[in-house]
Amino acid sequence: DSGVTQTPKHLITATGQRVTLRCSPRSGDLSVYWYQQSLDQGLQFLIQYYNGEERAKGNILERFSAQQFPDLHSELNLSSLELGDSALYFCASSGQGVGEQYFGPGTRLTVT
Amino acid sequence: LAKTTQPISMDSYEGQEVNITCSHNNIATNDYITWYQQFPSQGPRFIIQGYKTKVTNEVASLFIPADRKSSTLSLPRVSLSDTAVYYCLVVRNTGTASKLTFGTGTRLQVTL
């Protein structure tokens, strides 16, 4: 158990809809990262927040947005969903060091 | 930002030493290298991190040559449970922003 929690575990929705994925980092970690992993694909970095502020942006689509709240939990919002958005979405957290990240169990999103 | 390349797959017998190399030709001075292990449908798990020369912990060693254009993860005496995908991650943390580039992943298959 990494200490990072993600909800929901599974999500099935239709094209065009909007969903929100939630992540709670490890106690004391200020950074939260979001990643997308499509079937049998590698990890695509989406975005990082540090203590409520956006720190780094990767290959995140304009239809996607994220935020980190004062209690440090984070939400990833995916809108106008397309079939290609079906994937595992991972959240990770870290302390001062960016390299040593602790990953949650992921949310499996299926868009039908 | 450093582009990373790894072999797609490797096979090994149980009890052997396995070396997985990651190429990161245009790594910058501020970048450091981290390796992760991922089992199917689980979040990646941190293995080891280094900047140069050699780093060793209880599960692996990381070798980084002087030019830092590649790194090698060494797993001593692998077991069946080491069958997983291994990712290298090049991280640049400039204080106000981070850049993260995951490698393509190496699928390690360990057999008896």
Per-residue pLDDT, averaged over A59-81, amounts to 96
Interface test with B, best of A29, A101, A109 (most B CBs within 10 A): A101
* Across B20-48, average pLDDT: 91
Between the alpha carbon of residue A85 and those of residues A60, A79, B8, the distances in Å are: 11, 10, 24
| pLDDT tens-place string over residues B43-56 | 999 999 999 889 99
SS3 B81: helix
* pLDDT at residue number A13: 97
pLDDT at A34 exceeding the cut of 70: yes
DSSP for chain A reads --S-EEE-SEEEE-TT--EEEEEEPPTT--EEEEEEE-TT---EEEEEEETTEEEEE-S--TTEEEEE-TTS-EEEEE-S--GGG-EEEEEEEESS-SSS-EE---EEEEE-
A95 pLDDT tier (thresholds 50, 70, 90) = confident
Which chain B residues are within 8 Å of A2, Cβ to Cβ? Answer: 43, 45
pLDDT-above-70 percentage for chain B: 93
When pLDDT is cut at 50, 70 and 90, the band that residue B2 belongs to is low
Residue A87's pLDDT band (cuts 50, 70, 90): very high
Q: Does B94 touch chain A (CB under 8 A)?
A: no
What average pLDDT score do residues A31-46 get?
Answer: 89
Residue type, B70: S
The pLDDT of residue B109 is above 70? yes
Query: With an 8 Å Cβ cutoff, are A2 and B45 in contact?
Result: yes
**pLDDT band at residue B1 using 50, 70 and 90 as cut-offs:** low
Of the candidates A95, A100, A99, A79, the one whose C-alpha atom is nearest the C-alpha of residue A21 is: A79
What are residue A55's DSSP bridge partners?
Answer: none
Question: Can you say whether residue B29 is alpha, beta or left, with left for phi > 0 and alpha for psi between -120 and 50 degrees?
Answer: alpha
Q: How far apart are CA B85 and CA A97, in angstroms?
A: 23
Note whether A98 contacts B42, CB cutoff 8 Å.
Answer: no
Eight-state DSSP code of residue B8: S
Neighbours of B66 (CB within 10 A): 7
Q: In chain B, what percentage of residues exceed pLDDT 90?
A: 70
Distance CA B44, CA A79 (A): 26
Q: In what order do the strands lie in the sheet with B53-56?
A: B18-23, B70-75, B61-64, B53-56
Q: Which among B44, B34, B49 has a CA at the least distance from the CA of B2? A: B34
Which of B45, B87, B89 shows the shortest C-beta gap to A99? B89
Q: Are B4 and B88 in contact (CB under 8 A)?
A: yes
- Ranking A39-43, B8-12, B85-89 by mean pLDDT, the lowest is A39-43
Q: Residue A33 and residue B91: Cβ atoms within 8 Å?
A: no
Give the pLDDT band of residue B99 (cuts 50, 70, 90): confident
pLDDT given at position B95: 63
Ranked by mean pLDDT, the top range of A68-77, A97-106, B100-109 is A68-77
